Structure 1
């Protein structure tokens, strides 16, 4: 698990966005992101793509802690519930809800530091098989 944790702590994309790995255990991954002006859209709220990115990342990482193999995203459905502004912190966590032979499904949520639900997603992921 420690080798896998290092992969996620050193993710170039997550580091670019400012996503921090807070918890990494089998079946339980938590990410946080401190909102900066670079995350904002033209309405001064966090861009929906940032919500997507942290949810996709936390769901994928959570599944990978369970199956211990690389995966790719097949589909993600997101519901956005509340805006987030500059300086606030987003906290994302996920759980595996279906584990098949090659397809897995997870649910992810984002909350603010007060526990207010900001967004929820369901993602489908496919195991990458060795050739």
Structure 2
């Protein structure tokens, strides 16, 4: 699910067994991908152009093994060629699961 509103993008993921790591919790790569995706979608919706991820720093704050998780992003800084965004993943109880800070290159003509 993707939700666009007021310069915000929100996505939902149903945690499934095939997404779990050997410890039985959601793989960190899935969370990093969600953060990258939601930040990139927000930036693209605002700039109306393509963007590339330069860097993504992810902080894993809590483990999840089932249920739904939600990722949202916000723009921290928007320049002509570079933007910085922040994303958060929360569980269905609104507990913070992960945070990510992304730097993106804006591909303007």
| TM-score range relative to shorter protein | over 0.9
Q: Is there any run of 5+ residues in structure 1 with no aligned partner, and where?
A: 1-19
Deviations 1:55-76 (A, max 9, x none): 0000111111111111010000
Root-mean-square deviation over aligned CA pairs: 1.0
State the secondary structure of the residue aligned to 2:23: coil
Look up the match of 2:107.
128
Look up the match of 1:46.
26
1:98 aligns with 2:77: yes
Q: Pick closer, same or farther for the CA change 1:26–1:125 going to 2, 3 Å.
A: farther
- Greater relative CO (CA pairs within 8 A, separation 6+): 2
State the secondary structure of the residue aligned to 2:45: helix
How many angstroms apart in 2 are the aligned matches of 1:28 and 1:68? 14
Look up the match of 2:55.
75
1:89 aligns with 2:89: no
Look up the match of 1:29.
9
Structure 1 runs of 4+ off > 6 angstroms? none
How many angstroms apart in 2 are the aligned matches of 1:37 and 1:64? 31
Q: TM-score, normalised by structure 2?
A: 0.95
Deviations 1:15-40 (A, max 9, x none): xxxxx21x113521000000001110
Aligned residues: 109
Q: Is there any run of 5+ residues in structure 2 with no aligned partner, and where?
A: none
